[in-house]
Amino acid sequence: MAIETPPSTVADSTDSGQSVDELQILRTWMQRSAIGLIVVDALGIIKFVNPAAQALCACMAAQLLGRNCVALFAQDLTPAETLTMQNSLAAAQGWSLETLIQRMDGTQFWGNFQLVPVEDALTGTTLRCLFLNDISNLKHAADKIQRLSSFDQLTLLPNRAQFMRSLQQLLSGAGDAGDFVLMVWIDVDHLRTINDTMGHAVADLVLQSIANRLRDASRRQDLLARLGGDEFALVISGGTDPQVLQDAAERLMRSLQMDLATPDCDVKFSLTAGTAIFPPDARYVEDLMSCAELALLEAKKAGDGAIRHYVTELGNTGTSHAQAVAELRTAIFSEELRLHFQPQLSLHSGQVIGLEALVRWQHPTRGLISPVHFIALAEECGLIIPLGEWVMQTAVKQIRAWRDDGLTPVRVAVNLSAPHFRQKGLPDAIEKLLFEHDVPASLFELELTESVMMRDAEAAIHIVDRLKAIGLRISLDDFGTGYSSLAYLSRFAIDVIKIDQSFVADITTNPVNASIATATIAMAHKLGKTVIAEGVETQGQMVYLRRHECDEMQGYLFSQPVDAAAISAMLRSGAGINLSLDQGDAQMTLLLVDDEPNILNAIKRLLRREGYRILCAESAAQGLDLLATHRVQVVISDQRMPVMTGTEFLSRVKELYPDTVRLVLSGYSELESLTDAINKGAIYRYISKPWDDDSFKQDVIQAFRHYREHNPASPFNDHEAN
């Protein structure tokens, strides 16, 4: 009887036996693999397809054989893409393409084609194998991240990150054309008071109506953005007379100062603004924004509704550009730089598993200066490479010193600037440095930002490959803030994706940022990469990230960046973070939110014999904190609460924790306001206030049962409360 040879016997078999086995394995792979295989000739004519390729394209082999592979593409390639493809096919060279594929049944999917030339030893010819993968899921995740991370969801205006990218482009164009650009930083006065007294919904309306008015009042070529909270930006450009721009800004700001009529009330609000002009006030994006922000602070002093233009402060001009460069040069070459280290922890073990090296400048008169104040200057004046070299050397020497002190050294990551990354011979230089200090490459990591990599991505792919070949770990810094092209992301041999701190900051309260972070984690894991979150400051953020399978974290919660001596002490004591989840998480848990402590106590008393763990919060914010740090199945919230109503709170809970079962406590008079939330699925049921004890209890028991029915994998499933 013929028995299929298991792959493990391949290594044991004789030479001749081995080639037969390998063929067999290849044949089986070709038949069973989920990866499509399409063999084409030098012109792209299809000669062979495996079953997976037929399944992916929803057709029979006969429908594909003899056709050109471009017939599979749902949209035309650009002339450049066509040329690259034709050349690669003709020369039988590696090539890849991400494109929409047309199925025979009319539907489409995102496919990734990879051309792999295979020598046919028998005939001496080269086969052109096209491997086809369905990457629709990855593509959708990437699109979602792109969309969510570029636009503010409330006003649909570009967000700060997107704004800065557009402004960057605008400034370089204006610089070439010799045009002026004016930025207005707009602040809504007293939005917090509106929020507190009229509710979240009214404050949202105010923000939306400002966004609409800004859209109406501005021209197509102007830039608009919501910078965050109650702050907006407007950028007017064109023309060679700055005064014309300033007048236009003032006119526009006056036209925005209007009251807002809502169905319930009229809301009065005013806008205060600061402006700055490129190039006289500032020549770079960050600088232009800080000038406009300084002008806004002046306007705030003048009172609500004021507008002020940036006036160069005398103090600022104290050090000239040339002087600053000279000082920085001295700093680098006379040991005024210091290297601090911030621990990175495993979210699986709680142990310190790495450090990020962050540079500081110990200035003789100005004290310790943060890198945000001198990295840009160093890049601009060509000092960034010597600075980066100093950082690498110091980091490697430090790893060696820790080892000599008998400590188990941990991996150290350094930030790599664009010019340094592109410097010829960088991989050799790093290899030499590690060799000289006898430090293994596995203890050294490089952090690269998306913008560093994406500028000439093809070249960057090769540099990264070369750096990987040394054995270094590579991470992609500030993920989510730049252009993330999935095509490239999967082709870069990076090990780690670092979620930018702007997403982490409000991960437990902002459903949009939470979903960017979780989509990033899922996508990175699909690509086989590790994920680290930076800027973790609270226990809630850490628990949330851990629950969503983030692998590592870095942030003030565990430690700020500290000097080498402090790290030595930390490593010696084996410090780490306690990850053991609350014991109570094994118990079915109810979260109660009500601003009246009496009500919380009454409900707790009522349910005390039911066997639930009961968590109480006196505000929506407190409730979100508890949700981040505890596993909760059922949430009951009062409807009438200051700052955020129960339905607003539960809608947010639905987005952040969709599995929870949510109930609202409400008086009859407020029932009207619940219908929308009920229709949107934010609320499972309402409990009327005042309530009947027995039916309250029944509602709660029913809610837990509903949870178990909809979460069959839940550990509580065989546990019935009595």
Q: How far is the CB of 543 from ligand C2E (least distance, A)?
A: 15
Q: How far is the CB of 415 from ligand C2E (least distance, A)?
A: 4
Site map 11..50 versus ligand C2E, x via CB under 6 A: ----------------------------------------
Residue 375 found at the interface with ligand C2E (CB under 6 A): yes
Residue 372 found at the interface with ligand C2E (CB under 6 A): yes
- Binding test (CB under 6 A) with ligand C2E, winner from 36, 409, 482, 555: 555
Residue 343 found at the interface with ligand C2E (CB under 6 A): no
Query: Which residues inside 680-709 make contact with ligand C2E, applying CB under 6 A?
Result: none
Q: Which is nearer to ligand C2E, 210 or 359 (CB)?
A: 359
CB-facing half-sphere around the CA of 564: CA atoms within 13 A = 17
Report the C-alpha gap between 722 and 223 in whole angstroms: 60
Within 135-218, strands assigned E span: 181-188
- Binding test (CB under 6 A) with ligand C2E, winner from 223, 289, 299, 391: 391
User: Interface with Ca ion by CB under 5 A: which range of 33-41, 443-451, 552-560, 697-705?
Assistant: 443-451
Report the C-alpha gap between 118 and 39 in whole angstroms: 10
Site map 271..310 versus ligand C2E, x via CB under 6 A: ----------------------------------------
Report the C-alpha gap between 681 and 383 in whole angstroms: 57
User: Interface with ligand C2E by CB under 6 A: which range of 67-75, 249-257, 404-412, 529-537?
Assistant: 529-537
User: Interface with ligand C2E by CB under 6 A: which range of 102-110, 525-533, 555-563, 692-700?
Assistant: 555-563
Residue 347 found at the interface with ligand C2E (CB under 6 A): no
456 SS3 class: coil
C-alpha closest to that of 500 among 475, 464, 528: 475
Q: How far is the CB of 558 from ligand C2E (least distance, A)?
A: 9
User: Interface with ligand C2E by CB under 6 A: which range of 266-274, 367-375, 623-631, 704-712?
Assistant: 367-375
Q: How far is the CB of 368 from Ca ion (least distance, A)?
A: 19
Report the C-alpha gap between 299 and 624 in whole angstroms: 35
Q: How many CB atoms lie within 10 A of CB 429?
A: 14
Phi and psi at 8, nearest 5°, equal -65, -20
Residue 445 found at the interface with Ca ion (CB under 5 A): no
Site map 396..415 versus ligand C2E, x via CB under 6 A: ------------------xx
Report the C-alpha gap between 155 and 574 in whole angstroms: 47
Q: Which is nearer to ligand C2E, 435 or 556 (CB)?
A: 556
Report the C-alpha gap between 524 and 530 in whole angstroms: 7
Report the C-alpha gap between 579 and 558 in whole angstroms: 12
> Which residues, at least 6 apart from 205, have a Cβ–Cβ distance to it below 8 Å?
260, 262, 267
| Through-space distance between the first and last CA atoms of the chain, rounded to whole angstroms | 60
- Binding test (CB under 5 A) with Ca ion, winner from 152, 187, 445, 477: 477
What are the residues facing 275 on neighbouring strands? 184, 309
C-alpha closest to that of 635 among 620, 92, 567: 620
Residue 427 found at the interface with ligand C2E (CB under 6 A): no
Residue 248 found at the interface with ligand C2E (CB under 6 A): no
Residue 419 found at the interface with ligand C2E (CB under 6 A): no
- Binding test (CB under 6 A) with ligand C2E, winner from 273, 332, 358, 656: 358
Q: How far is the CB of 501 from Ca ion (least distance, A)?
A: 7
Give me the residue label for tokens 């402004």. Answer: 167
Q: Which is nearer to Ca ion, 561 or 623 (CB)?
A: 561
- What does 209 bind: ligand C2E, Ca ion, none (CB cut-off 5 to 8 Å by kind)? none
Site map 437..476 versus ligand C2E, x via CB under 6 A: ----------------------------------------
Stated as kind and residue range, the H or E segment containing 490 is none
What residue is closest to ligand C2E based on CB?
A: 555
User: Interface with Ca ion by CB under 5 A: which range of 193-201, 336-344, 414-422, 555-563?
Assistant: 414-422
Q: How far is the CB of 500 from Ca ion (least distance, A)?
A: 6
Q: Which is nearer to ligand C2E, 88 or 415 (CB)?
A: 415
**Which long-range contacts does 469-473 make (Cβ < 8 Å, 24+ apart)?**
469/427, 470/427, 470/430, 470/431, 470/434, 470/441, 471/440, 471/441, 471/442, 472/430, 472/441, 472/444, 472/445, 472/446, 473/411, 473/413, 473/442, 473/444, 473/445, 473/446
C-alpha closest to that of 633 among 645, 615, 646, 618: 615
Instruction: Name the token pair of 164.
Output: 């800065």
Within 50-204, strands assigned E span: 95-102, 108-120, 125-134, 181-188
Q: Which is nearer to ligand C2E, 410 or 536 (CB)?
A: 536
Query: Which residues inside 68-87 make contact with Ca ion, applying CB under 5 A?
Result: none
Report the C-alpha gap between 232 and 228 in whole angstroms: 7
Residue 394 found at the interface with ligand C2E (CB under 6 A): no
The distance of Cα 23 from the centroid of its chain, to the nearest Å, equals 44
Residue 354 found at the interface with ligand C2E (CB under 6 A): no
Number of residues that bind Ca ion (CB under 5 A): 4
| Residue numbers at the binding site for Ca ion (CB under 5 A) | 415, 447, 477-478
| Residue numbers at the binding site for ligand C2E (CB under 6 A) | 342, 358-359, 370-372, 375, 388, 391, 414-415, 417, 477-478, 501, 534-537, 555-556, 561
